[in-house]
Structure 1
Amino acid sequence: MTGLLTLNAGSSSLKFGLYKEADEPELLVHGQIDGIGRAAQLIVKSGEAETRDQVDAPTQHAALQRVMAALAPYTRGMQISGVGHRVVHGGPDFAAPTLLTPEVQCALEALSPLAPLHQPHNLAGVAAARDMFPGAIQVACFDTAFHRGHPWVNDAFAIPRSLYDEGIRRYGFHGLSYDYVTGVIARDFPELHAGRVIVAHLGNGASICAIRQGRSIGSTMGFSALDGLPMGTRCGQIDPGVILYLIEQKGMTPREVQNLLYKESGLLGLSDLSGDMRTLLASSEPAAKQAIDYYVFRARREIGALTAVLGGVDALVFCGGVGENASEIRQRIVEGLDYLGLEMNGMESPDPRDIGTGVARILVIPTDEERVIARAVHDAVTETLQ
C-alpha cells in the first residue's frame, strides 16, 4: 500500500495529514505539533479519536520524527510515495503545484523576504521531509497560486513600474483554502460557481476573496500576509505613513516594526488581552468588545468593496476557524448588508451549510487545505509513474 503525507510547517507548528493513495486520497489520520522549540504538544486525530502528548521537538526535523513515530501504527506496510508541502509564497512565477527540485527550492528560498515569518519554516519542513523520505517525491503547493491571473489593476500598486517588474505586487494568500471551497461550490452549488462569490476565510489569519466563475478576481491580502483584515496578531490594512513614523520618529528598527505588525497587533493589539476570538467573545472587557467591533467593521467594509469589484454578489461563503464556528461573528458581519441581498434570520434550511434567507446565498463551508495538497501530490505521483 502506498501513502501520501501532507505537511504545513510554521514557525512553531507542524500540521500533518496521512492519506491512503487513491484517485481521491483517503484521510487516515491527521493532527499537528504546537510549540516547536519550547513545550511542544503533539495532537493526533483519527476519526473521532484524539490523543494529546507532550513531546521533545526543538526543530522541524525533530517534530517530523515525533510525527512519524506517532504514525507508525498507520504506516506499517505502507510506502510514502509523495510528500506535499504548503508553501506560502510562490512569487510571480509559481502558479501550480511544483516538484521541489534543487533549482525550485533555491528559487523559493529567494522569495523568503516576501514572507519572512512563513517561507523559511515551510522550507525547513521540506528539508526535514527530504531527509526522512529520500525516495518520495516532494511537491510544493502555493498559497499564492490561486490568485495568479488577477486583473492587472488588482495586482499593481501605484508605485514606479520598475518595482512591479521586480515583483512588488499584490499576490493574495489563503489560496489553498479558496481552491478547496471553490471546488465544493462547483460540485454542490453549480449555479453559484458560474456566478459572483465572495469567500471569507476567517481564522487566526484572515482574508476575503472575490471569485467569478471559479477564478480569483480580487483579494484583501496583497504583497504580504499583513494586508486587509485584522487578524489574531497581524495588523491588516495600515497607512504606510504609520510605518515611516514608527521608524523615523519612534526610532524603531525594521525588525522591531516587523515584530509589531506580525506578532503584537490585530485582535491581540486592539484588546491587549488575546488574539483568540473565543477568548474575546467570552470577555467582558471593553477593549475586547472594541476589538471585535473593529474586526466586524473591517470584514463588512471589505465585503462591500469586493462586491463592487465583482459588480454584485450571488453568494457569501464563510470558512476558517472563526468563519466556520463563530456564529455570532457571522451574524454581526452580515447585519446591515441586506442592501446587497445578504440576510440571515435563523430559518432552517435543508442544507445546514446554507444559512441565508436573502436574494444572495450565505453558506458555511468547512475548508480542507490539506486535501488540496494531497490531491496535488497524487497527481504528481501518477504523472511521475507514467
Structure 2
Amino acid sequence: MNILVINSGSSSIKFQLIQMPSESVICKGMVEQIGSQNTLFSYQTDRIEIEETDALETHEDGLQKIASLLLDAEKGVIQNISDITMVGHRVVHGGNSFSNTTVINTEVKDKIAQYAALAPLHNPHNLQGIILAEQLFPAAKQVAVFDTAFHQTIPLVAKKYAIPNTLFTENEIQVYGFHGTSHKYVSEKAIAYLKLENSKIISIHLGNGCSMTAIVDGKSIDHSLGFTPSTGLIMGSRSGDIDHSIIFYLVNKLGYPLEDVEHLLNNKSGMLGLTGYSDLRQIQDEVEKGNKACILAMEMNAYRIKKYIGSYISAMNGLDAIIFTAGIGENSSLLRKMVCSNLECFGIALDDSKNDKKSKEIREINTPLSNVKILVIPTNEELEIAKQAYHLLE
C-alpha cells in the first residue's frame, strides 16, 4: 500500500510517499521557510529532482503545491487519488488523550484543535494538513502520530511541576514532551547499532525547534520541552528556558499586552532575537565573517545544550551515547564541536576529522578513547510515521 506522510513543522513541511511494507520511498520533498518570499521547495523521485524557490505564504499554500505535484501528468507519481491508501500525519500535541497512533475522526480533530493553545506554532498547521488531505484524498484513511506519545513513560518525578496539585490532577498541567517520533526513531537506531541490551542515551534533536531526551532502555525518562514546545534549548525563534517573572515584568512594567508577549517568546526570540536570523546556515555564515552577535548566540546555544547533557547524565547515572539528529544536528559540524568541547570529565571526546565529514548514514564522530559514543543519526520521522500507521492498519 502507498502511505503519504505529511510532517508539518513550525516553518516547514516534509513529505514522503512510502510503499509499505517494503518501506521503499516513491517520492519525497520539503517546503522550507514558509512565510518568506524565498520559500525553498524540493521534490525528488527516482527519475527527477526539483529544487526551486517560491513565495509560499502559508502552510496551506505549501500543501496545495505538494498535492498538485503528486498528481502532475509529467512529474507526478500517482495516476489517481485512490492510489494513496493512507495519509499519516505528524501531530505535535496530543496531551494525555493519545498515547498511540490513532485513526482520525471528528473527535480526534476536535482534540487536536483543543491542544492548539499549547502548541500554537504546530497543531493548527497539523490540523490544516489533515483537513486538506481529507479533501484531496477522501478515500484514504487518515492517521495521526503524536509527538507526545513517546514521552508517556516520563515518570511522575520528572513530569510534575512544583505548583498546586489540582493544576495537575484537574487541568493536566505537566511535562508532555515533543519531537517524540524523531527521538524514538534515532534511539532505536542507536540501540541496534551499538547492540546494547541496556542503554543510557541522550538524544539531541536540533532544527528550527530543538529538544533533548534522556532515554533509558529505549524509554523516555526526561525531556527538555514541557507543557508546550517552548522551553528548554534555544530555538530558531523560541526563547527556550526563561524566568517566568520576565513575562510579568513585560506586562506589568513595560506595558506589553499578553498576546504580544506570547508572540515575542514564540516568534521573535531564540536565535532570531539574538542575531536577526532564524536559519542557522545564515548564522554560521555570519560567524565566519566575525559577526559578534552570531558568535555569542552560537556559544549560548551550545552552553544551553551542555547544561542539559550534564543534568541528564546525573538523572540516568551514566551515559552510553549521545545522538545528534535533525537538520542542524545532522549538518552543523560547528555546533556539534562547540557542544562536545570541554566535556572530558564525562568521558566525551569528539574526533574533529570525523565530525567534519558528511554522510547520510549513521556514523560515530567520537575518538577511539572516548568512553561515550557520539553518533550522528539522520532522523526519518516520515518513515517512523508510515511504519506506525501501517502497523495500526495491520
Taking structure 2 as the reference length, what is the TM-score of the superposition? Answer: 0.90
> SS in structure 1 opposite 2:77?
helix
Go from structure 1 to structure 2 and tell me whether the alpha carbon gap of 1:219 and 1:18 turns closer, same or farther (over 3 Å shift).
same
2:384 partner letter: V
Q: Secondary structure at the match of 1:363?
A: strand
**Amino acid of the structure 2 residue aligned with 1:147:** H
Q: Distance in 1 between matches of 2:200 and 2:58?
A: 43
More displaced stretch, 52-61 vs 193-202: 52-61
Q: Name which of structure 1's ranges 46-55 and 2-11 shifts more when overlaid on structure 2.
A: 46-55
Point out 4+ residue stretches in structure 1 off by more than 6 angstroms: none
Q: Counterpart amino acid of 1:326?
A: S
Post-superposition CA distance 1:109-134 (Å, at most 9, x none): 11111112211111011000111111
**Whole-Å separation in 2 of the counterparts to 1:236 and 1:60:** 24
Partner of 1:305: 311
Q: Which residue of 2 aligns with 1:170?
A: 175
Q: Closer, same or farther in 2 for the Cα pair 1:261/1:37, shift >3 Å?
A: closer
Distance 1:104 1:136 in 2: 16
1 CA distance for matches of 2:362 and 2:8?
A: 32
Among 236, 245, 256, which residue is 2:240 paired with?
Answer: 236
Selected match of 2:373 from 361, 369, 386: 361
1:281 deviates by 2.0
Asked whether the 8 Å contact 2:44–2:50 carries over to 1, the reply is yes
Distance, in Å, in 1 between the alignment partners of 2:362 and 2:226 is 33
Q: 1:18, CA displacement in angstroms?
A: 0.8
For structure 1, the 5+ residue unaligned runs are none
Partner of 1:179: 184
SS class of match (1:307)? helix
- Is 2:36 the partner of 1:27? no
Alpha carbons of structure 1 residues 198 and 85: separation in structure 2 relative to 1, 3 Å: same
Distance 2:9 2:333 in 1: 28
TM-score normalised by structure 1 residue count: 0.91
Query: Which residue does 2:325 correspond to in 1?
Result: 319
Structure-2 residue corresponding to 1:370: 382
Q: CA RMSD in A?
A: 2.2
Give 1:19's aligned amino acid. Answer: I
Alignment partners' CA distance in 2, 1:294 and 1:325: 19
Residue 41 of structure 2 aligns to a residue in which SS?
strand
Question: How much does 1:345 deviate?
Answer: 3.0
- 8 Å contact from structure 1 (residues 81, 381) kept in 2: no
Contact 1:57-1:66 at 8 Å conserved across structures: no
Partner residue in 2 for 1:50: 49
Structure-2 residue corresponding to 1:135: 139
Cα separation, 2, equivalents of 1:380 and 1:114: 27
Quickly say closer, same or farther: Cα 1:11–1:238, change in 2 above 3 A. Answer: closer
Q: How does 1:250-261 map to 2 (within 5 A)?
A: 250-261=254-265
Letter in 2 for 1:355: I
What secondary structure sits across from 1:229 in the alignment? coil
SS of 1:74 mapped into structure 2: coil
Which residue of the partner structure matches residue 76 of structure 1? 79
> Structure 1 residues 293, 37: closer, same or farther in 2, change over 3 A?
closer
Deviation at residue 62 of structure 1 after TM alignment: 5.0
State the SS of the aligned residue for 1:111.
Answer: helix
User: C-alpha displacement at 1:64, in angstroms?
Assistant: 3.1
1:330-374 CA deviation, whole Å, 9 max, x = no partner?
11111111111111133669x971111211111111111111111
Question: What amino acid is the match of 2:337?
Answer: Q
Structure 2, gaps ≥5 residues long: 356-360
Cα distance in structure 2, aligned partners of 1:323 and 1:338: 20
* SS across alignment from 2:315: helix
- 2:104/2:143 contact within 8 Å kept: yes
> What is the alpha-carbon distance in structure 2 between the residues aligned to residue 336 and residue 109 of structure 1?
44
Judge conservation of contact 1:24–1:375 (CA < 8 Å) in 2: no
Task: Check 1:238–1:60 CA distance in 2 against 1; reply closer, same or farther (3 A cut).
Answer: closer
Match runs of 1:205-244 below 5 Å: 205-244=209-248
1:159 aligns with 2:163: yes
Equivalenced residue count is 377
Once the two structures are TM-superposed, the CA of residue 101 in structure 1 deviates from its matched residue by: 1.4
* Partner in structure 1 of residue 339 of structure 2: 333
Point out the more displaced range, 182-191 or 323-332.
182-191
- 1:19 is paired with a residue of what secondary structure? strand
- Superposed, 1:117-136 pairs within 5 Å as 117-136=121-140
